[in-house]
Amino acid sequence: MARKKKETNPAVEETAKANIIGAGEVVNQQITKTLETNFMPYAMSVIVSRAIPEIDGFKPSHRKLLYTMYKMGLINGGRIKSANIVGRTMQLNPHGDAAIYETMVRLSKGNETLLHPYVDSKGNFGKSYSRNMVYAASRYTEAKLEGICTELFADIDKDTVDFVDNYDSTMREPTLLPVTFPSVLVNTNSGIAVGMASNICSFNLRELCETTIGLIKNPDFDVFETLKAPDFIGGGQIIYDRKALEEVYSTGRGSIKIRAKYAYDKSSNCIDITQIPPTTTCEAIIEKIIEKVKAGSLREISDIRDETDKSGLKITIDLKRGTDPEKLMKRLFKMTPLEDNFSANFNVLVAGVPRVMGVAEILNEWIAFRSECVSRRVYFDLNKAKEKLHLLLGLKKILLDIDKAIKIVRETKEESEVVPNLMIGFGIDEIQAEHVAEIKLRHLNREYILKRLDEIEDLKKSIEDMEDILNSRSRIKKIIVEELTKVAKKYGKDRISEIIYEADEEEEIVEEIPDYEVNLFFTRDGYFKKITPLSLRMGGEQKLKEGDAMMYSVSTTNRAELLFFTDQCQVYKSRACDFDDTKASVLGDFVPTKLEFDKDEKPIYMAVTTDYKGYMLFFFENGKVAKVDMNSYATKTNRKKLIKAYSNKAPIVAALYIPEEAELVLTSTAGRNLLVNTGAISAKTTKDTAGVNVLTLKKYHKLQSVRFYNEGEFAKPHRYRTKTLPAAGATLSSEDTAEQLTLE
């Protein structure tokens, strides 16, 4: 049976709209007003409440999770299921269990994201260096707080930080954590807000504590004395660039160059990469190396595989015989993410305002924040001590006559009158009398009361000391220094990232290309062959496609540069080593496909050079010749394609590469021949120059062909030469005509 469509009552809809202010109305509003009223609050919420860390080093999501675990007693107890923690955290963070669990994963020891993780994990928490190693669901994993978290929550119950209501006002949560060390720079922290972002690198805890102590003792302390460079959980090698680090340390923005760490296994002829930059993954590195191998840029590699297991990260690269591993790694650093840059952006919220600060400025802000925490803790303890002293002073008066106190209590008829009668009988206030009235019967002995009274002098000294601390900034700083020293001693570790110096990297990296003699062949249809002399001697007749013909052949080396000029005024650059050795019995490589020519583009000429000396000559139907310095085609960036390789103003007849000046014979459709020395043609550096007039042509005639002049080819060569250009040339003499017939 078909379900009946629900009918709507227009009158009911109108009534519903009337109950919502502005519902159903179309209002013309300026875009700036809309942004102010709608987008700006959203942007501020993302900046202040989500993406940017505060001076304690945490975003709200981190803080809510860790505080929940702290209140669950997971700082000393055993691990519990992650799903339980996630569920409890939703009392403070109502953004979904997936987001909370992902936050826990990044804070965990197992994920290896943080230099000093805050969550002690058990189970599969994935790996930050691999995008394929995905963490298990929260119902399978377990977690508790790491020991270092005691430094995050130290004295949090002593009013050291402010507390606010959670989203439904059923709980209270801290706005900051009273961290006893500058955690904001201890662990990596990144976030993307609206219109701004933050990307903080990690520093060695021991070095950072020493640096903070140095700044406390001397505001002009040079942070480079103790804080040499960042330190990353993944290790790697940091290329020390003092200028770049100074920029990061002073401005909070800059770039830090990190490269992978490797070892060469001589027995199996392979390279094992065990540490990579924190900005990349194993999969990204392997994919890039495979891409370069397929493109022919890395011929020394025979295989690559990911051997990462429970023991840690490992990428193995098998090398071909005779490969120098150090030279190969230098090329890999240049061509792949094995060397990468960490883009620092030290954007931190201070008093709710985002600020990009340098290292010293952040540490000074943290010192000010920690000083406030210590002052509030001391003030809290001072009030507690004063309250206790007040009670003990009341107890001291009771000591004068315990029997009197017992008598007052016994003879008082109503319970409500006990406290007032004690106040009158001993001259104490209500708080003191209440305390005396609550003393257990077993404690109404002189020994108990005397022990309590012995604390009075100690309390007075302690109160005096705490008041002195509150009035002395130097004593507060001394307390912070003592705390930092303890943290560095208890939780400090040796550096993981190695520092190498830029001076070691100045050697120019040159690609190793095997050098041996080869014979190159290029056909009219665009097929190319590279054959070694031995193979050429042993091979038979050159195999060609039906209708094709050999256009160019040359003997050179495997390091030669190849320039393929096309009918679209473009040149594609390659190298002889980019082509595989082959035999005469095969067709060879089809150049347009190999070099990825544009659609319907055809090669017309191949130039071979090893030093880019000499000239390229382009001959056009209108009798003009363009002489271009070969060096104009040399590029430092190894570009594969150059546009405007020659002029397109007239149809091209031929192209020739001449390493040195030569004599050429130009023949027109009128049967005239002109003998020209290329030295008489002026060279240009502009590749697409239109050229100069060389052959004078009559109407309806054009340049037909060009060839090199062979000595003795003409009986009287001077007949075809001319002192000035352009010239019309001369028809063949009877002697040359007869010789031409004889040659045929």
Check pLDDT > 90 for residue 496: yes
Question: Are residues 628 and 529 part of one domain?
Answer: yes
CATH of the domain at 99: 3.90.199.10
Its domain, for residue 286, covers 261-337
- In a domain, residue 343? The reply is no
Percent of all residues in the chain with a pLDDT value above 70, rounded to a whole number: 94
Among 149, 178, 207, which residue terminates a domain?
Answer: 178
> Structure tokens of 250?
């002073």
- In a domain, residue 696? The reply is yes
Q: Which of 59-68, 617-626, 643-652, 709-718 has the lowest mean pLDDT?
A: 709-718
Question: Are residues 696 and 571 part of one domain?
Answer: yes
The residues annotated as belonging to the active site are 140
Closest CA to 118 of 107, 103, 104, 106: 107
Beta-bridge mates of residue 620? 652
Q: Which of 89-103, 131-145, 217-231, 534-548 has the lowest mean pLDDT?
A: 534-548
For range 709-737, the mean pLDDT: 86
- In a domain, residue 68? The reply is yes
- pLDDT at position 511: 58
Question: Are residues 720 and 582 part of one domain?
Answer: yes
Please give the tally of structural domains in the chain: 4
The distance of Cα 175 from the centroid of its chain, to the nearest Å, equals: 30
C-alpha–C-alpha distance, residues 215 and 222, integer Å: 8
Question: Are residues 525 and 399 part of one domain?
Answer: no
- In a domain, residue 434? The reply is yes
- In a domain, residue 246? The reply is no
- In a domain, residue 405? The reply is yes
Q: b/e map of 209-227 (b: 16 or more CB within 10 Å)?
A: bbbbbbbbeeeebebeebb
- In a domain, residue 120? The reply is yes
C-alpha–C-alpha distance, residues 128 and 312, integer Å: 12
CATH of the domain at 472: 1.10.268.10
Question: Are residues 485 and 550 part of one domain?
Answer: no
Q: The sheet that has 237-240: what strands, in order across it?
A: 189-192, 197-200, 339-345, 253-259, 237-240, 498-501
C-alpha–C-alpha distance, residues 322 and 302, integer Å: 12
Question: Are residues 631 and 551 part of one domain?
Answer: yes
Question: Are residues 531 and 424 part of one domain?
Answer: no
C-alpha–C-alpha distance, residues 454 and 347, integer Å: 53
CATH of the domain at 280: 3.30.1360.40
Mean pLDDT of the chain: 89
C-alpha–C-alpha distance, residues 82 and 101, integer Å: 8
Question: Are residues 575 and 697 part of one domain?
Answer: yes
Among 443, 474, 491, which residue terminates a domain?
Answer: 491
Beta-bridge mates of residue 707? 665
Among 178, 213, 240, which residue terminates a domain?
Answer: 178
Check pLDDT > 80 for residue 64: yes
C-alpha–C-alpha distance, residues 552 and 607, integer Å: 9
Question: Are residues 389 and 330 part of one domain?
Answer: no
pLDDT in tens, 676-705: 999 999 998 899 999 999 999 988 899 999
Question: Are residues 416 and 273 part of one domain?
Answer: no
Question: Are residues 449 and 385 part of one domain?
Answer: yes
- In a domain, residue 600? The reply is yes
Q: Is-above-0.75 flag for pTM?
A: no
Question: Are residues 572 and 647 part of one domain?
Answer: yes
**Run of H or E including 482:** helix 473-491
Higher confidence at residue 108 or residue 292?
Answer: 108
